[in-house]
Structure 1
C-alpha cells in the first residue's frame, strides 16, 4: 500500500529550512546594496492602480529580451524589493531585468495575482521587447501562467509571443495539494479553485520553451511538480528542460542569479539572446 503523503511537511519550506529568517534578511540586505550601487540605473514603473502594482526595472544595454523575475512567498509574503540583487548576474552581461511586485493573499486571490502579472507583462511588452519570464516558488507558478496565457484573447493588439520562454525555480504548477496545508489559510482555495489556478491543467503553450529547475535539497513534491510540468508540456510539443540546482534548498536555489558565471545566469542569457 502506498503511504499517504504528508503535504504539510512537503510544502512547509520555512519548517524545512530553520535558518530561513537569516536567508531572507540576507536577501533584503543584498537587494538594498545593489540598488544603492546603481542609483541612476534602475527605475520603478506602475502597471496598475495599487501601491504594490509596480515593477523595478534594471535596464542594460542589450537588445535581447527583458528577463522578468517574479518573487515567491506563497502568494502571501514579500515583494520585489527583496530581490533586486538577483538582477546582477544578467545586468553584467548587458541584459535588462524587471522585478514586479503584486498584491498578496488574503487581501486578493491567487486568480487576482495571475491577472496582475498579466498586467505587468503587458506593461513591459509596451517597451517593445519580448520577455523571458523567470520566477521562484509561487513566482515560478506565475511565470508558467504567463507562458501559458493566450495573449490574443486578452488583447488582440498583443503579439502572440510576448513571452517567449519561462524559467521556473522550484515552482508550483498543481495547487491541489496546498488545499490540505497551512499555506491555504491565506489562499482560501477549494479544490476547484486550485485546479483553475494551476497551469499544469491549462492548454500547453503553442510555442516557446520551459526550463523547470529545482533545488537539489527540496522535498519530493517540489521535484514532482517540476518534473510533471516539464514532461507534460514536452508531450504537448514545446521544448522543456528539467534540472537541479546542486546543494540548494528552497531559499538558496535562487542565489545563482546574482552570479554572472552561474549555469542559471548563462542559461537565461542564452534564452534572452535567442531569436
Structure 2
C-alpha cells in the first residue's frame, strides 16, 4: 500500500486551495458579524482561543483544527461559528503550537489546557469536535474524561501509518511514540468514568481507503469496549469538503453537535 498517497491529502485533492480559500473568506465574514472574545489559555502567542458566544449560560463546543499538527490556526475556521450560534451553542476554537517547533505530546497538553479552561469557565465538560489531527485530539479528550462527547471528522486514530510518509518529517515520531499517542489504543470512557461516553466518527466517502478504515475501525473497537459510537460516511465528500456541513445550521453534522451540546 502506498501510505504517502493514502495520507497526503493536499496531494490527493488538487483543488484543495479553493476549498481552503472558502474557509478563509467565511472566517473573515464571521469575525465581522460575530467578533470573538480572545482568551489566552497558556503562555505563548499561539496559546489563545477565540470564543464565539451564543449568550449567557449557553453551552460551549470546542473545535480542534486540523493540519497534521503542523499547519493552520484558529483564524481559518471562524466561519463554522454562525451555524452553531444559530442553535444557541457557543464555539471555542483554540490555536496551538505546531510541529516541528514542539512535539505532538506538547500539543496535546495545550489542548488539554484549552478544554479545561472552557470546562472551568462554563461549569461543564464541553463537546469537543475536530477535523483530521483535530479528530485525533477530540478522541483523546474523550478518553481522558475531559469531554461530554466527541465528534471526530476524518480523524487519524492510529498514528503508526504516518511513520512511512513525508508527514512524519515534521512530526518526527518513532514507533513507540506513534503507538503511545494513538487513541485507538487508549482506555475507553465508560459509565464509571467521569465525562462522556459518546464518540461519532465522520468521514468523507471520497477520502482515501485508509481514512475510511481508520474511522470505521475506531468506532468498531471503542463500541466493543462499551462506548456509544457511530461511524458515518458522507457520500461525495473528500478530506476538505467533508467540513462543508459545519457551515450549515441545518446539516446533520451541525444538528448532531448542537444536540450533544444542549443535552442535560
Same fold, TM-score > 0.5, yes or no: yes
Q: Bin the TM-score by the shorter chain.
A: over 0.9
Aligned residue for 2:50, secondary structure, equals strand
Mapped contact 1:64–1:272 kept (Cα < 8 A): no
Unaligned runs of 5+ in 2: 191-195
Mapped contact 1:34–1:85 kept (Cα < 8 A): yes
Whether 2:121 is the aligned partner of 1:132: answer no
Provide the TM-score with structure 1 as the length reference.
Answer: 0.91
Structural mapping, 1:124-273, within 5 Å: 124-127=118-121, 128-149=123-144, 162-206=146-190, 207-273=196-262
Q: CA deviation at 1:129?
A: 2.9
The ranges of structure 1 where at least 4 consecutive aligned residues each deviate by more than 4 angstroms after the TM superposition are none
Mapped contact 1:88–1:257 kept (Cα < 8 A): no
Whether 2:42 is the aligned partner of 1:48: answer yes
Whether 2:22 is the aligned partner of 1:38: answer no
Could you tell me which of 70, 91, 97 is aligned with 1:76?
70
Structure 2 CA distance, aligned partners of 1:119 and 1:162?
10
Q: CA deviation at 1:63?
A: 4.2
Structure 2 CA distance, aligned partners of 1:95 and 1:187?
34
Mapped contact 1:230–1:241 kept (Cα < 8 A): yes
Instruction: Look up the match of 2:104.
Output: 110
Instruction: Look up the match of 1:155.
Output: none
Q: CA deviation at 1:246?
A: 2.5
Unaligned runs of 5+ in 1: 150-160
Pairs aligned (count): 258
Q: CA deviation at 1:130?
A: 2.2
Structure 2 CA distance, aligned partners of 1:210 and 1:134?
10
RMSD: 1.2
Could you tell me which of 53, 57, 69 is aligned with 1:59?
53
